[in-house]
Amino acid sequence: MSGDRVLRLDPFKAADQRRCLELSVPLSSFKRLQSVLLESEGEVSCKFVFSKGERNEIWIQFEYRARLTLRCERCLGKVAQLLEDTVRLRLVDSAVELARDDEESIEVGERGLYLPDVIEDELLLALPLIPKHGQYGQCDPESVRWLKTTDGSSTDEQAENPFAILRKLKY
């Protein structure tokens, strides 16, 4: 990980300087993300570009790329998921103004901006709701065999439909 002095900064000064930062942050450093990862090896490559807009507002353009190992919800095996995106966020000084609802923004307090938190937030937002292999054939063959033999129905008698009695009613 790049030095901690670079990980927390004053984004308003960085925007005045039109600063551009490139970081590589290990996946193991993201505590909230650990609960969904099967493996925490690897890193997130990031690029932050700080700038000012037409009305002197502060913006971050943030690019990231990471390969995560998640659990496939179909076969319960490992599935590699590539997350990459470019996000543009407006920075709002929490002591001066409120964030508007119509734009993506980050409120910045007295302590400045801690870049790993921004990275982790964006990774969490980019995660698929249901991680799974792209095609059924990519799943673990043993798990697929098990899924085909257990279709969810009971091998004993089929459960009686609780609404079957309604068929007997006439109107």
Digit-by-digit pLDDT tens for the chain (171 residues) are 444 446 888 888 999 999 999 999 999 999 999 999 999 999 999 999 999 988 888 899 999 999 999 999 888 889 999 999 999 999 887 656 655 555 677 778 778 889 999 999 999 999 999 999 888 778 877 777 777 776 555 444 566 788 888 887 876
- Does residue 15 form part of some domain? yes
- Does residue 164 form part of some domain? no
Structural domain of residue 57, as residue ranges? 4-147
- The CA distance from 35 to 37, in Å, is 6
- Does residue 141 form part of some domain? yes
- Does residue 167 form part of some domain? no
- Does residue 158 form part of some domain? no
DSSP 39: B
Of 139, 127, 132, which is closest to residue 67 (Cα–Cα)? 127
pTM, full prediction? 0.75
Of 23, 117, 2, which is closest to residue 66 (Cα–Cα)? 23
Both tokens of 81, joined, read 């998921």
Number of domains forming the structure of the chain: 1
- Does residue 162 form part of some domain? no
